[in-house]
Structure 1
Amino acid sequence: MGEVVRLLGPWSDSVDVAAYGGGKARGLYALGEVGVRVPEWVALGTEVFEGFASAAGLTGELEGFAALGEVEAAVVRAAELRAALAVAEVSEAAVAVIGEAWERLGPEPIAVRSSMSAEDGAEASFAGQFDSHLNVHGLEAVIARVRDCWVSAFSERAVRYAFAHGLSRAYAPAVVLQRLISARSSGVVFTRNPMTGADDELVISAVYGLGEGLVSGAVDADSMILDRNTGALIDITLGDKDIRVDPGDGQGCATVEVEAGRRGARVLSDAETAELAEIARKVEISCGAPQDIEWAIDDTGVWLLQTRPITATASTLSAREVELRGAGERVGPGETRIWDNSNIIESFSGVTSPLTYTTAADIYGRVYRGYAASLGVPPEQLRQTDAWTPVLLGSFHGRVYYNLLHWYRMVGIAPGYPLNRRVLEAALGVAEPLPAEIAKTLRPFEFDNTAARLRSRARTTVIYARRLFGIDDLVEQFMTDFYRVYDEYDAVDYTALTGEQAYRSYRTVEGDLVRRWGPLMVLDAILLTLSGLMFVLTKLFLPKAPEWFLYAVVGPGADVESAEPARAMTELARVVRADPELNDIINSTAPEAIHDALRAAGRTEFRAALDDYLDRYGYRSLDELKLETPDLRENPANLFVMLRSAVGRVGDTVTANRAGEADAYLDAHLGHGLRRRVYERLRAKVSRCAAHRERLRFCRTRAFGMVKRMIRVMGRDLAARGVIDEFEDVFQLTVEELRGCYEGADTDRLREVVAVRKSLRAKDSTLVAPARFRTVGPRLGNAELAEQGWVPVTATAAATPGTMLTGTPSAAGIVEGAAVIVDEPRDVAGGILIAYRTDPGWVAALPSASALVIERGSPLTHVAIVARELGVPTVVQLPGITRQLRSGMRIRVDGAAGTVTVLSEGDQ
């Protein structure tokens, strides 16, 4: 059963356990009363600590501390007590009691756990606030660990927790000594779902070995949700089991690798899961409240190590209610959806906030509906598009995906679908083309009869042809309208706006731009058509043209606006490279301190040049379409990171733009006759449209930069009003929830919604996001997604010398050098930049790279296009390359062949 040891003798009834043994002892005693298996334990009662403190002359200080009613004063006094207790000698009387307790457990390793009087209570758990130690050997170590537990009662985190829960005087330290179980698996059971508050769900988390790694977050657990009444498995997430914690040094710090055969397996068998569920229900009934139970399994079966009430304010919201999963559309039981991240990760990489995702999905839906309307789609068919335009994007575990089948539908609005859909696949970087028999069925809308369909198609074709020939004027008119709006709102002093004013500005700008952007989406359709024709004409006129030729022969031109930041960065780098003092400041000063260092050095002219760069391009950032990412104006340190990298490349030989080679190839193989004139006319049209698209992308970046500033005003306003805890929490809201904050919606539960979503994000970031997967029907549970590749990140063996990885050529040229694997454009310094994905913000890093390799993306993505204009050899679409290469590996990039070859150190 266990007992409490005082200075004067043992106490073992339930009243004494609660009064003297603290929360852990109270829980262990309750488990013993249930009749479940509990490892033998002994509690050192509060009087043991009081005797120790008295012998050290600290009783008065402790009484003064308990009387304090102000948290900051208590934090200061607690620090003083902590220091005094840490060096105080443990009295002979206390040593004798600790020794007596230790001897009762025998010579085997034990656990030494805090058991404060207020710990594991019905109102506050103090979970994680005090120290516990596993695998403690010998009396001397036990005494030291007991004192550590006592001292931890006065840590700053514990003091602040106590005051926050109205328990500022509840300091009576006790300690539990418990026989250590040699566990092959361990974890916790919650008899009510702590994430959702659902009382019909039971949650089990399990790891191999001891459970300290689970508590500390050092290891990743299997997590199972069960029906509380039947024990049926509702959902399961398998943890990453590459490394597990085995506390071998008395501190819980040693690590051991899990056997390869168990890495992908479930920790618990079905029988063990069922047994734990049954035991947990039994404990809850006995204790009369939902319980958080710690367990371990050894060769003899299940042991319970502690239990306590679930005290955290569990959300009454279901995680499934607030998690954004799928696209939010109604899907029938047998309907298939294909999700592909293709080049969408250029815009929305990694875990993306709910506000960014829902804003993007909302804008995509409205823009493409506007696009359909601009092509004269009849009203009835336009209403049919409402079923799929709002769900062009989906979100899984925080990652954004194309809802691919609907994109084929979107392409079908314009004429030329059979050709355009194939160009769409190339433009998106889709690795697996959709089978023709499926693609042919994906119609954007239906008609009652053939005549109505033909009339609509004829009207759409006529309008489309007009747009094709008038696209230059259409783009120029849009640019005029865009910069009229942009210049007005970019000049606003956002620091002076109220939240309401920022919201009104946001709605005005967003509505105006979305309305104007819809008709411009015809440009993407035109570019698909023209690129397809260019491909056909090239195959007809130049059937033996190399693969690189098609990407080199067409481009937006060297003066494309979106390349301006890279050119401006190169000019700044040249100035730094030519000036030793500037070079030293940029390369030896922390990025966040460079601006002040330049001021101190009197470099006013160069500072003015930097300020000019920020004025012109300060709206740019890495992941610049993610609203949560600060731009260069908000975080100018990133500017210096990119500048430092560019300085290292100034003066290096840059591969020439390949357009000249494309011209030479045309001269040699096509001559200057009629076919050449036809080819050049189409080439010029494609190039102009490519340039127009880059200009529009630049406008999109500027627009998002402006919206970011407005949203930050709203975030600070909502935090000041107490709607959310801190301004960054605004990004955990959906765009509909944000609008509701300023349109009279109930905001009482938003903090609860934010808390649930933030807790989900940490788990999401540990999962592999497959490039493409399918779902069937409405069920999108963790188990179904795991079968589609959503599993924890696992190590991949490095590629060996001689390995050749083949992707898609994007910009010709051959470069050998050191691979630099990066998740943001920094510290490249002439190396070969290897990235999983890029976004437009990476353009500024191109001058620092000798070559560019992008795992996900297409030759038509923004950075790939600019890389061609800057003459940087580029290969894209190499699945798994960021996991197979290592920074520092010597590699050869052949941009024309689309290959990356791993070299040995001796290869030159």
Structure 2
Amino acid sequence: MTYIITPTPGKSPAALGGKAKALASLQGASLPIPPWFVVSPTAFQDSLTAAGHAALSAGNPAEVLIALQLLSPAEPVCLAVAAALTRLCPQGELVAVRSSALDEDGNEHSFAGQLDSFLFVSPTDVAKQIAAVWRSGFHERVLAYRREKCLTPLPAPPAVLIQRMVSADVAGVAFSADPVSGRRGVAVVSGVFGLGTSLVSGECDADTWRVDRNGTIVEVELADKETAHRADPETGEGVRSTVIAPEDAKKPCLSDGQVREVAALARSAASHFGRPQDIEWAIEGDRLHLLQSRPITSLAALPDPDGELNIWDNSNIAESYGGVTTPLTFSFARHIYEEVYRQFCRIMAVPKKAIVANERIFPRMLGLVRGRVYYNLLNWYRLLALLPGFTTNRRFMEQMMGVKEGIPDEILTEALATCKVGRMQDAFNLSRSLGGLVLNQLGLQKNIDRFYARMNRALAPPNPPLEELRPDELVAHYRMLEEQLLTRWDAPLVNDFFAMVFYGLLRKVMATWCGDGNETLQNDLLSGEGGIISAEPAKRVREMAEVVAEDEALTELLATGDVPRSHAASIAHPALGPLYQGYLARFGDRCLDELKLESATLLDDPSPLLCSVGEFARRIRSGRALAPFDETALRQVAQLKVRVALAGHPLRRILLTWILKQARARVRDRENLRFERTRLFGRVRRIFVELGKRFAADGILAEARDIFALEKEEIFGFVEGTASGTDLRGLAALRQAEFLRWQSAEPPSDRFDTRGMVNHAQTCRSTNPTPAVPQGESLQGLGCCPGLVRGRARVITDPRGAVIREGEILVAERTDPGWIMLFPACCGLLVERGSLLSHSAIVAREMGIPAVVSLAGITAWLKDGDWVELDGASGQVRKLDQTEVPADAE
């Protein structure tokens, strides 16, 4: 029977245990390891008594500890150990007797300090200490550690490491990476005079150095070292504590050269194992020894603070991609942003050389963090920095791009190092860009007309229809859309830019020339423009409701939510049928979260539309439906204020008239061109839905909707033969499980930083304090539809399946076109975000619903059932006390 295992190049049997296995591997890499051998676990088994075997078989820890009290190595084991010691210590040198358990010093569990070790052991006492190490492997502290880490109750018997003793002048530990801060590029060296046991036991503070990758000592902390451990074979553990002379206590225990040598040794161990290491080292004379090496397990939970900084913000993008977003939607959206903003740079006359040099910016405009879409904010700034005029107009550009919270200058300077241009060059680029913008402005309307024509051609009903196309034909159809539209989004981009410019100019001149400190006058001037498609759905819902209200039975049928019967009755109705089908044909792709491809549209489920029409019809029948608000009244009052303010300033009036004309046209076209985006996304959604059906029919996916768990290029690659993996069913299942976890987990903050790997060891929590809930009994917002109403608050975060009861006021953080189905039932509307031009404001005015927007924190300030009063003209919102609540209120 083999009881002794000696180091063999290229071989590290499992029986060596964790500690010795690491030493064997490092010795093979020619690192300075003191000579050693191992007593295998077989020696333990062959030394057990019958009672010991029985206790281990029973698996009772208490019985095992009793059975091992008198354990000593069997005679064959003693003979084998004696022979090995003769070879290891021919002059009778002292040795260290240490544990090397199977689980010890592993990648997940270190068992540091759990098992006993003995130093300066004479060859004659080795057998006794081997038995002591065996017993320590089953000590209560080890068993408690195993329970804490959810390991098996009883450990495997430990191997025992016998190593020639190093009588250290200086010793300590070193980490190839900083285990506290997580800095992977900084090694930490800690040392004490004498043996390292004084450091490990905590009896003595250590000198500590931090060394960067260039070997530069970047930080030194010298301790007051009062004691040192020295050899004393007469003690149980082989060491004793000695007093350090006062004049030496504060001297560094290592020279700078030795510090670098130890740091290099730790990094060599890390390089050998391919992961950061925690080593024990000792210096005897002028020779450095490596005594032990194990992984730094704590680093797995720490990001590297020296890693690349990313700042994530969803303050705007969450309105388009709220909550957990599927891989298909994200991959599509990311590609859209990449292409659109590359085009934007070309339109803004950014030099081609600069675009190429900063190519990595464009694919990283968006990120997906724990299933949620965020702006990669520093890349947006890098994009802004490419635009001519950024060095002198940064704040204005931030405002135009909707950046709510700026980036500190010191961070921005570093982030923009590769994008920065000199002021002279920037001025030249700006002059060239302005010339191009003038041409774009002059030809914008023709460009928009051409865009609409191209859009209509590309989105014409395909022949044969999508339902009949093969997968390769569906992919080809998408590629056509990409070529015709996605990479030629010029008109909406230019119009959006000028909408921001002229809206900003209008706000500026209103504040400067007309004294509009509240910054609302420009919104009033833009009201009542007409021709904005965002208002059309509300008009059509009202028109259908007026038809339905003439029939009590049909009104109740639609309002109750019986979709099959409601749908059939609506189509069959001679007056309602054409209106209903016309609405679906025009706005069937509008839905909640309409930019998320996985969202069900009205074509998939018309119930929100049918219920909305039914509820509105109920209000008409009961006489509670208000007439549409005439937005021109706001506009006329605002125009009168402007005429008074600019009386006697003819040049200002001329300039303002031109700015206002441009702002009205650009804002109108901005809303209408965004609807074209909805049309495009609707067609793309149907392409992928059809691909899902084909994949499910052929067994490629389990269900058709599993297509949304795949990325765009994975789907196309499967069809076109460029995919690196073909198990789409398995991939979809894996993704769905992950996204279910994200849905149930706490979402990341709206804004947070990451360092290094974005999806590893990050808290994703904001370092800024959470905004306080508004206090007091009233809030001031932006009134956007006049009317004074009182009612119960209904706070809704997800409109799917939500019900608004008669007399309730809808309270929401934001709304999109899908929310319109809830509007007819409410008597008032309160929205946390928004402006007079936001979707909620436009629809509220069309439906005659008193509304206030831009109410920061209102979804936290109010809770379901609170009685509240809103004034849609002044923007004042007030909680009602008990005396103001109607007596008949439930």
How does the TM-score come out when normalised to structure 1? Answer: 0.60
Give SS of 2:829's match: strand
Aligned pairs for 1:710-725 (under 5 A) are 710-725=687-702
Partner Cα separation in structure 1 for residue 522 and residue 56 of structure 2: 73
Matching residue of 1:817: 791
Q: 1:901 aligns with which of 875, 878, 888?
A: 878
Q: Is the 8 A contact 1:341 1:402 kept in 2?
A: yes
Matching residue of 1:778: 756
Compared CA separation, residues 426 and 819, structure 1 to 2 (3 A) = farther
Matching residue of 2:642: 666
In the TM superposition, residue 774 of structure 1 has moved relative to its aligned partner by: 2.4
Compared CA separation, residues 273 and 594, structure 1 to 2 (3 A) = farther
Matching residue of 2:604: 634
Aligned pairs for 1:333-482 (under 5 A) are 333-415=306-388, 417=390, 422=395, 431-435=404-408, 446=419, 452-482=425-455
In the TM superposition, residue 409 of structure 1 has moved relative to its aligned partner by: 3.6
Matching residue of 2:593: 623
In the TM superposition, residue 507 of structure 1 has moved relative to its aligned partner by: 1.7
Matching residue of 1:35: 60
- Is 1:803 the counterpart of 2:777 in the alignment? yes
Aligned pairs for 1:34-53 (under 5 A) are 34-35=59-60
Matching residue of 2:733: 755
Q: 1:603 aligns with which of 561, 564, 573?
A: 573
> Letter of the aligned partner of 2:645 in structure 1?
H
Compared CA separation, residues 690 and 283, structure 1 to 2 (3 A) = farther
Q: Is the 8 A contact 1:534 1:682 kept in 2?
A: yes
Q: Is the 8 A contact 2:506 2:659 kept in 1?
A: yes
Compared CA separation, residues 434 and 453, structure 1 to 2 (3 A) = closer
Q: Is the 8 A contact 2:749 2:765 kept in 1?
A: no
In the TM superposition, residue 439 of structure 1 has moved relative to its aligned partner by: 5.9
Q: 2:674 aligns with which of 684, 688, 697?
A: 697
Partner Cα separation in structure 2 for residue 594 and residue 869 of structure 1: 25
- Is 1:593 the counterpart of 2:528 in the alignment? no
Give SS of 1:395's match: strand
Q: 1:881 aligns with which of 858, 878, 883?
A: 858
Matching residue of 1:764: 742
Give SS of 1:516's match: coil
Partner Cα separation in structure 1 for residue 509 and residue 142 of structure 2: 66
Q: Is the 8 A contact 2:559 2:610 kept in 1?
A: no
Aligned pairs for 1:195-206 (under 5 A) are none
RMSD over equivalenced CA pairs, Å: 4.1
Compared CA separation, residues 761 and 589, structure 1 to 2 (3 A) = closer
- Is 1:561 the counterpart of 2:533 in the alignment? yes
Partner Cα separation in structure 1 for residue 698 and residue 610 of structure 2: 36
In the TM superposition, residue 447 of structure 1 has moved relative to its aligned partner by: 6.8
Q: 1:517 aligns with which of 486, 489, 492?
A: 489
Partner Cα separation in structure 2 for residue 856 and residue 819 of structure 1: 17
Q: Is the 8 A contact 1:875 1:898 kept in 2?
A: yes
Matching residue of 1:643: 613
In the TM superposition, residue 465 of structure 1 has moved relative to its aligned partner by: 2.3
Matching residue of 1:326: none
In the TM superposition, residue 824 of structure 1 has moved relative to its aligned partner by: 1.8
In the TM superposition, residue 852 of structure 1 has moved relative to its aligned partner by: 3.0
Compared CA separation, residues 382 and 415, structure 1 to 2 (3 A) = closer
Partner Cα separation in structure 1 for residue 505 and residue 417 of structure 2: 23
Matching residue of 2:505: 533
Partner Cα separation in structure 2 for residue 337 and residue 503 of structure 1: 34
In the TM superposition, residue 710 of structure 1 has moved relative to its aligned partner by: 0.6
Partner Cα separation in structure 2 for residue 722 and residue 230 of structure 1: 46
Q: Is the 8 A contact 1:419 1:532 kept in 2?
A: no
Deviations 1:683-718 (A, max 9, x none): 111110001111110000011111111101111122
Compared CA separation, residues 885 and 743, structure 1 to 2 (3 A) = same
Q: 1:708 aligns with which of 679, 682, 685?
A: 685
Q: Is the 8 A contact 1:592 1:636 kept in 2?
A: no
Partner Cα separation in structure 1 for residue 748 and residue 837 of structure 2: 22
Q: Is the 8 A contact 1:621 1:632 kept in 2?
A: yes
Report which structure shows greater RCO (CA 8 Å, sep ≥6). 1
Give SS of 1:785's match: coil
Give SS of 2:744's match: coil
Deviations 1:610-641 (A, max 9, x none): 12221221122111111001211111222213
Give unmatched runs, 5+ long, in structure 1. 1-28, 39-199, 203-225, 233-269, 287-329
Matching residue of 1:733: 710
Partner Cα separation in structure 1 for residue 104 and residue 643 of structure 2: 72
Give SS of 1:595's match: helix
Q: 1:834 aligns with which of 811, 827, 843?
A: 811
**Of 693-702 and 724-733, the range deviating more from structure 2:** 724-733
Partner Cα separation in structure 2 for residue 492 and residue 772 of structure 1: 45
Q: Is the 8 A contact 1:348 1:400 kept in 2?
A: yes
Q: Is the 8 A contact 1:894 1:900 kept in 2?
A: yes
In the TM superposition, residue 487 of structure 1 has moved relative to its aligned partner by: 2.0
Compared CA separation, residues 849 and 666, structure 1 to 2 (3 A) = farther
> Letter of the aligned partner of 1:751 in structure 2?
R
Q: Is the 8 A contact 1:427 1:860 kept in 2?
A: no
Matching residue of 2:39: none
Partner Cα separation in structure 2 for residue 434 and residue 725 of structure 1: 46
Q: 1:853 aligns with which of 830, 839, 842?
A: 830
Give SS of 2:762's match: helix
Compared CA separation, residues 789 and 447, structure 1 to 2 (3 A) = closer
Partner Cα separation in structure 1 for residue 784 and residue 333 of structure 2: 28
Compared CA separation, residues 870 and 642, structure 1 to 2 (3 A) = closer
Deviations 1:746-787 (A, max 9, x none): 443433332232222223223444553222421435763254
Give SS of 1:774's match: strand
Aligned residue pairs, count: 610
Q: Is the 8 A contact 2:146 2:153 kept in 1?
A: no
Partner Cα separation in structure 2 for residue 812 and residue 32 of structure 1: 83
Matching residue of 2:584: 614
How does the TM-score come out when normalised to structure 2? Answer: 0.61
Q: Is the 8 A contact 1:803 1:901 kept in 2?
A: yes
Larger radius of gyration: 2
Aligned pairs for 1:105-120 (under 5 A) are none
Give SS of 2:441's match: helix
